[in-house]
């Protein structure tokens, strides 16, 4: 007997028929003798519909009341799935996030889980019940209902798996696993049998939408084995674990990409020790999340600093920089939009020199100009013109032979 946490996303529970299908999958796992806890998202696009209802009332709803509103979406799903299981003669019970003991920061819209009291769930499991938990939500110590932000149901599932010391956490979605890149962009993309926590975390942070980075962080920190698989197709998914025991000969494991990138350059900054702290503190205080940073020295007294951001926060970024213009005394701010970031990821890169050179060569051969570069032990990212993004991904995917089946190493 194993203890398994399963998570089903909004597409998987998007209709009554799909909820019935999920109930059949949950029933199968339960009748095989497993203890099962299920985390679900709101049905289909119901969260978007709730947001639209709020917007019909006001253009500036309070974050607290939005959490009260949005948390109802998952509550509908847990009740319907529990009813579907009970109809099958299975003892099941539904819990909202706060009923399940999920405690969070007293922050609305993007709260972090601080503690999980599993006593109530453990009591139900002892009584051989299936426990259905609403994802994406919890409650603060002050008793306020909170939501966990984008990808919150993934985070709920992995956090519960860690707290319950589950044998595995299965993330069921509308794809059959983690691919070498987005199969909607590259038809030759191949599903990976396995990928490491570190590689998956890089992929998630760099734009791969299969899992939210916070969920992968939880899994890595608490060593929770993850499987990403399809709720629609009965097919083995991708295992995410500390050390990959298959596909070991892959130097590059996958390619991630994201568009809507903007490069901002602050010119003529004084070459002083407190310049960068002042600059980036101003951005941080205005909630501007910066990605790649490059500094160029003009002369002994002046430097230029460039950094990348998402295009949607350019107004906030420019406002933050103007606030410290007099203090820093820089000469000019310029920004360039319609850019994209393309990244290669693989733990094998740390012990294989020349991977970055190969990437740059492939881009050059395809007349793709690189505007910024960022590296770590297991990834290389390049900022390029957005119009060349798909070409770059396809070329890199082919160059690193990611479509080829690899020999399994046991």
User: What pLDDT, in 10s, does the model give residues 135-165?
Assistant: 999 999 999 999 998 889 999 999 999 999 9
Query: CA-to-CA distance for 78 and 96, rounded, in angstroms?
Result: 8
For the cut 70, the answer to whether the pLDDT of residue 215 exceeds it is yes
- Domain formed by 3-174, architecture: 3-Layer(aba) Sandwich (3.40)
**3.90.1150.10, 3.40.50.300, 3.30.2130.10, 1.20.120.450: which CATH number matches 255-399?**
3.30.2130.10
**Nearest residue to 358 via CA among 389, 380, 376, 336:** 380
Contact criterion met (CB below 8 Å) for 212 and 201:
no
Query: CA-to-CA distance for 151 and 328, rounded, in angstroms?
Result: 38
Using alpha carbons only, how large is the chain's radius of gyration in Å?
23
- Return the number of other C-beta atoms located less than 10 Å from residue 294's C-beta: 16
Single pTM value for the model:
0.83
Q: What is the dihedral of CA 345, 350, 356, 359, to 10 degrees?
A: -40
Query: CA-to-CA distance for 214 and 153, rounded, in angstroms?
Result: 11
Widest distance between CA atoms in the chain:
78
Tell how far CA 169 is from the center of its chain: 16
Pair of tokens at residue 107: 């922050």
Listed in sequence order, the residues at least 6 apart from 152 whose beta carbon sits closer than 8 Å to its beta carbon are 135, 136, 137, 212
Q: What is the pLDDT of residue 408?
A: 47
- Beta-bridged to residue 378, according to DSSP, are none
**Residue 1: pLDDT band with limits 50, 70, 90:** confident
Pair of tokens at residue 71: 């948390």
In this structure, what are the phi and psi dihedrals at residue 162, rounded to the nearest 5 degrees? -65, -45
What confidence tens digit (pLDDT) does each residue in 158-212 have?
Answer: 999 999 999 999 999 888 999 999 998 999 999 999 999 999 999 988 877 788 8
HEC readout, 158-221: HHHHHHCCCCEEEEEECCCCCECCCCCCCCCCCECCEEEHHHHHHHHHCCCCCCCHHHHHHHHH
- Beta-bridged to residue 172, according to DSSP, are 8, 229
| Domain assignments of the chain as residue spans, ordered by start | 3-174, 255-399
Q: What is the pLDDT of residue 170?
A: 96
Query: CA-to-CA distance for 87 and 78, rounded, in angstroms?
Result: 14
State mean pLDDT over 67-84. 97
């Amino acid at each position: 007997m194993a203890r398994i946490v399963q998570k089903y996303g909004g597409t998987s529970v998007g209709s009554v028929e799909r909820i019935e299908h999920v109930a059949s999958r949950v029933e199968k796992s339960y009748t095989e003798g497993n203890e099962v806890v299920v985390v679900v998202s709101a049905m289909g696009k119901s969260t978007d519909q709730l947001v639209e209802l709020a917007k019909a009332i006001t253009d500036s709803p309070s974050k607290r009341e939005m959490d009260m509103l949005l948390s109802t979406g998952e509550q509908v799903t847990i009740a319907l799935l529990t009813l579907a299981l009970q109809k099958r003669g299975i003892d099941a019970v539904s819990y909202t996030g706060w009923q399940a003991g999920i405690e969070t920061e007293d922050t609305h819209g993007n709260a972090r889980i601080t503690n999980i009291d599993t006593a109530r769930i453990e009591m139900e499991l002892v009584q051989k019940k299936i426990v259905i938990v609403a994802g994406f939500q919890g409650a603060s110590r002050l008793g306020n209902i909170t939501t966990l932000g984008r990808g919150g149901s993934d985070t709920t599932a992995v956090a519960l798996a860690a707290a319950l010391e589950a044998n595995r956490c299965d993330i069921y979605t509308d794809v059959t696993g983690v691919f070498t890149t987005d199969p909607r962009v590259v038809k030759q993309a191949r599903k990976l049998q396995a990928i490491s926590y570190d590689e998956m975390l890089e992929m998630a942070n760099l734009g791969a939408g299969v899992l939210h980075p916070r969920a992968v962080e939880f899994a890595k920190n608490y060593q929770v084995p993850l499987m990403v698989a399809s709720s629609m197709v009965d097919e083995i998914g991708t295992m995410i674990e500390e050390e990959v025991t298959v596909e070991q000969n892959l130097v590059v494991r996958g390619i991630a990409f994201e568009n809507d990138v903007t490069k901002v350059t602050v010119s003529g900054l004084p070459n002083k020790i407190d310049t960068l702290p002042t600059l980036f503190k101003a951005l941080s205080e205005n909630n501007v999340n910066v990605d790649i940073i490059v500094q160029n020295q003009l002369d002994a007294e002046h430097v230029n600093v460039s950094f990348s951001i998402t295009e949607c926060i350019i107004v906030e970024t420019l406002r933050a920089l103007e606030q410290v213009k007099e203090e820093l005394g820089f000469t000019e701010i310029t920004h360039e939009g319609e850019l994209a970031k393309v990244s290669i990821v693989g733990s094998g890169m740390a012990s294989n020199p020349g991977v970055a050179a190969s990437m740059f060569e492939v881009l050059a051969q395809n007349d793709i100009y690189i505007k910024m570069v960022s590296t770590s032990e297991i990834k290389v990212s390049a900022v390029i013109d957005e119009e060349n993004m798909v070409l770059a991904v396809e070329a890199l995917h082919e160059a690193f032979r990611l479509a080829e089946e690899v020999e399994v190493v046991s």
